Amino acid sequence: MADTDADGFEVIGVTPATVLKGGTLSAGGGLLLQVRSAIQRLGDGQVLEVQSAEPAVKEELAAWSRLTGNQMLADLDAGDHTRYFIRKGASGVPREKPDWGIKLPRRPGGRLDMRDWFVGRLGDVPEEAPAYLGFVPRGAVREPGMPEFPYTLNRRPEVWADNIADLYEQATAQQWNASTDIAWDSLPRLPDDVERAVCQVMTFLAENEYAALYIPSRFLPRINAQYTEVVLFLATVINDEARHIEAFTKRAVANGGGLQYSASLTEWSLHSLLVQEDYFQSSFLLHVLGEGTFLDLLDFLARFAPDPVTADVVRRARQDEGRHVAYGIAHVREQLRADPTKSEALVTAAEERSAVLQATTGANPMVMEALAIISGGGSLPEQMARGVEAVRALFNDMHEYRVRRMLQLGLDEATAQKISRLHTPNFM
Ligand SMILES: [Fe+2]
Ligand SMILES: [Fe+2]
């Protein structure tokens, strides 16, 4: 049996290669710096003894050792101080190291672009991400023993789109302010019938925008934070939709009109979109079909707007929607490419939603009338007749472009036609 050593070495059976006297230094106040440089000078398997009179360093040295792949062997009470024994690189787990020395390129004008950050550990977007990675920024070195987060979307294809970094950069560059970027001052007084029609359409648009805001908000916390770019992009979508609600509501009240009627069809339609639990099906219904159809509606409104202010509002919203649709198309297309049988889930989603909506009134007469008044230029019979024609053409365009977007996804013509005909008469 070994002699009982007053120093207690035999208790742990090691002899430290170096002793570091830490005094009362706190971990963050200089002790870790010294520990790090002392460990660097040791060979693998050698032991560093750290002496410290500061009680709080016990947990901190243990955490530091776990993070850096070293092993805290023991701590011994030595009266006025504690002795900690740390073995270099012997924790059993391969030592991970944070990145160092990877400098991102600058784009013209000194831009630092998300598209260029796919290098080193940060650039390694995992196919699958464990839920215990929580909020650990992708690329950081984590300490073991972290809690599981309530993510349900933990695989890259479930959320990813190959253009996601481009879309994020566009989104941040194209933000606008609905208070100051619109020339509200120059909104002219309109004939009552036209103003009322604009207010009715703005009411309808704002109502739909709530769905566009709530749906990505529901899914965002389910997405594993390792898919940073998707999470950040959805945050811009949510901000866009908030601004759309704001801008459409402001336009409704700006000229003394006010918010008009909400139809039950709209609420049933948006409700059926909101309760969709599957992100793939939801992305398709919202971003490809719903917002895609809205692109054509907003285009129509920009073309026939009775004043430049209304035109500006819908044009700006349309530019934002273009990004949301682009994400939806890229995301759904990638999934279909990986697994073409997933197209059945899209047909099912459209069929199920259509069945729910069959039970409701299939029309939104106030909105249809308002669109006809706006595009006809007024409510005289000949104006209305022109307007009704224009709305009919809009419906044809909406159908045609919906089909075209679905062909971009890789769906066949017959399936695209079928789904487009099942699409909600509410547009979204
Ligand atoms: Fe929107
Ligand atoms: Fe949108």
What are the tens digits of pLDDT across the range 27-43?
999 999 999 999 989 98
Distance 69 CA to ligand 1 centre (A): 48
Distance 93 CA to ligand 1 centre (A): 48
Distance 247 CA to ligand 2 centre (A): 13
Q: What is the reported pLDDT for 4?
A: 40
Q: What is the reported pLDDT for 90?
A: 64
Distance 283 CA to ligand 2 centre (A): 11
Distance 333 CA to ligand 2 centre (A): 18
The per-residue pLDDT for range 110-120, each reduced to its tens digit, is 999 999 999 99
Ligand that comes closest to the CA of residue 314: 1
The answer to whether the beta carbons of residues 8 and 76 sit under 8 Å apart is yes
Distance 269 CA to ligand 1 centre (A): 16
| Mean pLDDT (whole number) for 89-105 | 81
CATH class of 14-87: alpha beta
pTM of this structure: 0.87
In the chain, CATH 1.10.620.20 covers 156-422
Distance CA 393, CA 128 (A): 46
The per-residue pLDDT for range 59-85, each reduced to its tens digit, is 999 989 888 888 899 999 999 999 999
Q: What is the mean pLDDT of the chain?
A: 93
The answer to whether the beta carbons of residues 403 and 416 sit under 8 Å apart is yes
Distance 291 CA to ligand 2 centre (A): 6
Distance 248 CA to ligand 1 centre (A): 10
Distance 318 CA to ligand 2 centre (A): 9
Distance 411 CA to ligand 2 centre (A): 22
Ligand that comes closest to the CA of residue 288: 2
Distance 211 CA to ligand 1 centre (A): 9
- Alpha-helix residue ranges (DSSP H) falling in 220-306: 228-254, 264-274, 279-283, 291-304
CA-CA-CA-CA torsion for 53, 57, 58, 60, nearest 10 degrees?
Answer: -170
Residue 9: is its pLDDT beyond 60? no
Ligand that comes closest to the CA of residue 243: 1
The answer to whether the beta carbons of residues 428 and 208 sit under 8 Å apart is yes
Distance 320 CA to ligand 2 centre (A): 7
The per-residue pLDDT for range 388-399, each reduced to its tens digit, is 999 999 999 999
Distance 345 CA to ligand 1 centre (A): 25
In the chain, CATH 3.30.110.40 covers 14-87
Q: What is the reported pLDDT for 194?
A: 98
CATH topology of domain 156-422: Ribonucleotide Reductase, subunit A (1.10.620)
The per-residue pLDDT for range 398-425, each reduced to its tens digit, is 999 999 999 999 999 999 999 999 998 8
Distance 61 CA to ligand 2 centre (A): 49
Ligand that comes closest to the CA of residue 236: 2
Q: What is the reported pLDDT for 221?
A: 98
Q: What is the reported pLDDT for 361?
A: 65
Distance CA 226, CA 150 (A): 13
Q: What is the reported pLDDT for 141?
A: 92
Distance 316 CA to ligand 1 centre (A): 10
The per-residue pLDDT for range 244-276, each reduced to its tens digit, is 999 999 999 999 999 999 998 899 999 999 999
Give the DSSP per-residue string, 307-360.
SHHHHHHHHHHHHHHHHHHHHHHHHHHHHHHH-GGGHHHHHHHHHHHHHHHHTS
Q: Residues 235-239: contacts with CB within 8 Å, 24+ apart?
A: 236/168, 236/171, 236/172, 236/175, 236/323, 237/171, 237/212, 237/323, 237/324, 237/327, 238/213, 239/175
| Mean pLDDT (whole number) for 206-211 | 98
The per-residue pLDDT for range 343-381, each reduced to its tens digit, is 999 999 999 999 888 877 667 889 999 999 999 999 999
Ligand that comes closest to the CA of residue 207: 1
Confidence bin at 6 (pLDDT 50/70/90): very low
The per-residue pLDDT for range 287-338, each reduced to its tens digit, is 999 999 999 999 999 999 999 999 999 999 999 999 999 999 999 999 999 9
Ligand that comes closest to the CA of residue 291: 2
**What φ, ψ does residue 89 adopt, rounded to 5°?**
60, 40
